Amino acid sequence: MSDTRGVLVSGSQSVPYVIEREGPAATARVGDCEVVLSVRPVAPGLLAATCNGRNLQVHWVMDGSRTLLHVKGQTYEFELGRAGSREARAPIVEGDLRAPMPGVVSRMLVRPGQTVNAGDPLCVVEAMKMEHLVRAVRPGMVIRVTEPGTQVESGAVVVEVERTTEDADGR
């Protein structure tokens, strides 16, 4: 019998777990719930799990630190966090404008030094033939912008905005 503990991170959520193994079965405590399960590999990317007596087909793949799972028609992404820690991802700094998806910065509508109001259009990111307008989330001054034509990953900072004490229109 062995006993392991850890923290499962999914998006902004962290769930601590304890797994107790006993032969081919295990008991997992996740959050406040207890699940008796056994898991058997079926084929590459496919597991047969039994959870509290029910069959589950689990499709899965690891991609870097992410583990992608598909169970009963829904896809999930998990990674391992450190016990007691919740900082699995760098928090998004409010004001920095990030690419909503991988794509190309097709047009930049502001320049450094310009002040903007919340909701102002800042730049356009294009991917899969669709344009997406990135808007300011709060008022401030543009510090840095991305060169149009640059290919960016999802979440990359495309415009840096510094908070100012007054709004762009001087209120």
Partner 1 sequence: MGAVDFTKILVANRGEIAVRIIRACRELGIATVAVYSEADALAPHMLLADEAVLLGPPEPAQSYLHIGRVVEAARRTGAQAVHPGYGFLSENPDFAAACGEADLTFIGPPPAVIRALGDKSRARRLAAAVGVPIVPGVDDPGSAEGALREAALRLGLPVLLKAAAGGGGKGMRTVRDAADLEIQAQGARREAAAAFGDDTLLIEKLIERPRHIEVQILADAHGNIVHLGERECSVQRRHQKVVEESPSPLADDPFRAALGEAAVRVARAAGYVNAGTVEFLVDDRRSFHFLEVNTRLQVEHPVTELVAGVDLVQAQIRVAAGEVLDLRQDDVSLRGWAVECRVYAEDPEAGFAPSPGRVLHLHEPQLPGVRVDSGIRAGQDIPVHYDPILSKVIAWAPTRSAAIRRMAQALREYVILGPRTNLLYLRAIVEHPAFAAGDLSTQFLPDHLGDWRPPAPPPEVLAVAATLLESNRHAPGSSRRRRAGAIAASPAFADPWDCLRGWRPS
Residues 70-89 that bind partner 1 (CB under 8 A): 70-76, 78-80
Nearest to 95 by CA among 165, 164, 161: 161
- Binding of residue 103 to partner 1 (CB under 8 A): yes
- Binding of residue 137 to partner 1 (CB under 8 A): no
Nearest to 89 by CA among 98, 79, 100, 102: 79
Per the CB < 8 A criterion, the answer to whether 7 and 19 are in contact is no
- Binding of residue 19 to partner 1 (CB under 8 A): yes
Contact pattern for partner 1 over residues 27 through 66, marking x by CB under 8 A: -x-xx-x-x-xxxxxxxxxxxxx-xxxxxxxxxxxxxxx-
> What's the closest the beta carbon of residue 171 comes to partner 1, in angstroms?
18
Kindly report each contact of residues 124-130 with a partner whose C-beta sits within 8 Å and lies 24 or more positions away, as own/partner: 125/99, 125/100, 125/101, 125/152, 125/158, 127/101, 127/102, 127/103, 128/103
Number of residues written out for the chain: 171
> What's the closest the beta carbon of residue 94 comes to partner 1, in angstroms?
17
Q: Which stretch binds partner 1 (CB under 8 A): 88-96, 121-129, 138-146, 156-164?
A: 121-129
Beta carbon nearer to partner 1, 111 or 130: 130
